[in-house]
């Protein structure tokens, strides 16, 4: 069995202001780190509009299109921008996520990593925020449920920031378990343990600033993994953010590269137990370029070694 790598050069055409942490160089560093690995390399398609509309209303898509600048930048908020290439990039990012689900569910590959930007887990139903335009992980989960007819899908989000967008998009979805760990307090401020969704299918795991890999492992082993096993998803989607790394400039957790390898291996082992090893991982944050590259490589290396 193989691991797919889905990406597209269009994801480099989403440009942010000078000095912005969510920069083109992030994806260049990730792709460079994955060079030479024995991956099935796939050119990401553009998402179909229906893929986007599973989680965002048509009015939201129309707003993004109307605000797309012909040149320069359009400011959505203090963090989030549109450049002329942003929507193409976002449609490729969403398209990669959907195609990865198709490939994993068809058995063409065992698992897949989507090296994409803009990231997605902060995008709410009709609000772009936190560098994110479309909820890639949520729309991948919805595609698996509604298009492929899976009974249950889980999303595991280990980005250092709360996956408020994924939580919002899947709040009412009883067929999706969302497990999200985040530093708290930290932007965007949500992600308390008492935010559990309309059907008690959201598990928030706040982590204190200054904590490291040991605390993360304890919380995942005690709370996240038993919940994941009990839910018995047919597919696991990972929101793979690497900004909990000790070197990351945007947060104060102290995970090391091997912690990202550990959590990936654990999720893959559970996937092998309960859903034939079917995992789709989508890139979220990670803003120290060297730490991002090393952590993404360690993550993909574990996907490649995963049991089926």
Which residues are part of the catalytic machinery? Answer: 122
Q: Which is nearer to Zn ion, 139 or 283 (CB)?
A: 283
Q: Which is nearer to Zn ion, 213 or 286 (CB)?
A: 286
Q: Which is nearer to Zn ion, 10 or 159 (CB)?
A: 159
Return the H-helix or E-strand segment holding 153.
strand 153-157
Q: Least distance in Å: CB of 183 to Zn ion?
A: 9
Q: Least distance in Å: CB of 284 to Zn ion?
A: 6
Separation of alpha carbons 303 and 100, rounded Å: 14
Residue nearest to Zn ion (CB): 285
Q: Which is nearer to Zn ion, 165 or 285 (CB)?
A: 285
Q: Which is nearer to Zn ion, 3 or 127 (CB)?
A: 127
Q: Least distance in Å: CB of 137 to Zn ion?
A: 13
Q: Least distance in Å: CB of 184 to Zn ion?
A: 13
Separation of alpha carbons 258 and 45, rounded Å: 32
Separation of alpha carbons 117 and 132, rounded Å: 8
Q: Which long-range contacts (CB under 8 A, 24 or more apart) does 216-221 make?
A: 216/158, 216/181, 216/244, 216/253, 216/255, 216/259, 216/263, 217/259, 217/262, 217/263, 219/181, 220/181, 220/263, 220/266
Using alpha carbons only, give the angle 51, 192, 234 rounded to the nearest 5 degrees.
40
Separation of alpha carbons 89 and 47, rounded Å: 10
In contact, 255 and 216? CB cutoff 8 Å: yes
In contact, 155 and 200? CB cutoff 8 Å: no
Neighbours of 232 (CB within 10 A): 13
Q: Least distance in Å: CB of 151 to Zn ion?
A: 30
Judged by the rule CB under 5 A, the positions of this chain that interact with Zn ion are 159, 161, 241, 243, 285
Q: Least distance in Å: CB of 130 to Zn ion?
A: 8
CA distances from 238 to 10, 49, 180, 260, 284 (A): 22, 23, 10, 12, 9
Separation of alpha carbons 225 and 91, rounded Å: 32
Q: Residue 277: exposed, middle, or buried by beta-carbon count in 10 A (0-12, 13-18, 19+)? A: buried
Residue 198 CA to its chain's centroid (Å): 22
Q: Which is nearer to Zn ion, 238 or 270 (CB)?
A: 238
In contact, 3 and 300? CB cutoff 8 Å: yes
Q: Which is nearer to Zn ion, 13 or 250 (CB)?
A: 250
């Amino acid at each position: 069995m193989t691991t797919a790598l889905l990406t597209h050069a269009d994801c480099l055409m989403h440009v942010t202001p000078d000095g912005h942490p969510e920069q083109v160089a992030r994806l260049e560093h990730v792709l460079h780190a994955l060079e030479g690995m024995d991956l099935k390399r796939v050119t990401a398609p553009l998402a179909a509009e229906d893929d986007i509309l599973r989680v965002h209303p048509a009015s939201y898509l129309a707003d993004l299109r109307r605000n797309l600048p012909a040149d320069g930048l359009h400011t959505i908020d203090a963090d989030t921008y549109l450049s002329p290439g942003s929507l193409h990039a976002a449609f490729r990012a969403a398209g990669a996520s959907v195609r990865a689900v198709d490939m994993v569910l068809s058995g063409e590959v065992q698992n897949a990593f989507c090296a994409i930007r803009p990231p997605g887990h902060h995008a709410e139903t009709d609000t772009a925020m936190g560098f994110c335009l479309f909820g890639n992980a949520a729309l991948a989960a919805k595609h698996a449920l509604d298009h492929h007819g899976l009974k249950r899908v889980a999303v595991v989000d280990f980005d250092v920031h709360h996956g408020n967008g994924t939580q919002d998009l899947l709040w009412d979805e009883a067929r999706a378990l969302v497990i999200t760990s985040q530093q708290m307090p930290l932007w965007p401020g949500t992600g308390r343990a008492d935010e559990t969704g309309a059907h008690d299918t959201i598990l928030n795991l706040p982590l204190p600033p200054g904590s490291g890999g040991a605390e993360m492992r304890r919380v995942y082993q005690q709370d996240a993994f038993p919940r994941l096993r009990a839910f018995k998803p047919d597919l696991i989607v990972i929101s793979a953010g690497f900004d909990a790394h000790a070197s990351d400039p945007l947060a104060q957790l102290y995970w090391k590269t091997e912690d990202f390898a550990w959590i990936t291996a654990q999720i893959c082992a559970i996937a092998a137990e309960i859903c034939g090893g079917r995992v789709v991982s989508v890139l979220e944050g990670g803003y120290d370029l060297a730490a991002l590259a090393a952590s993404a490589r360690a993550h993909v290396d574990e996907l490649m070694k995963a049991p089926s």
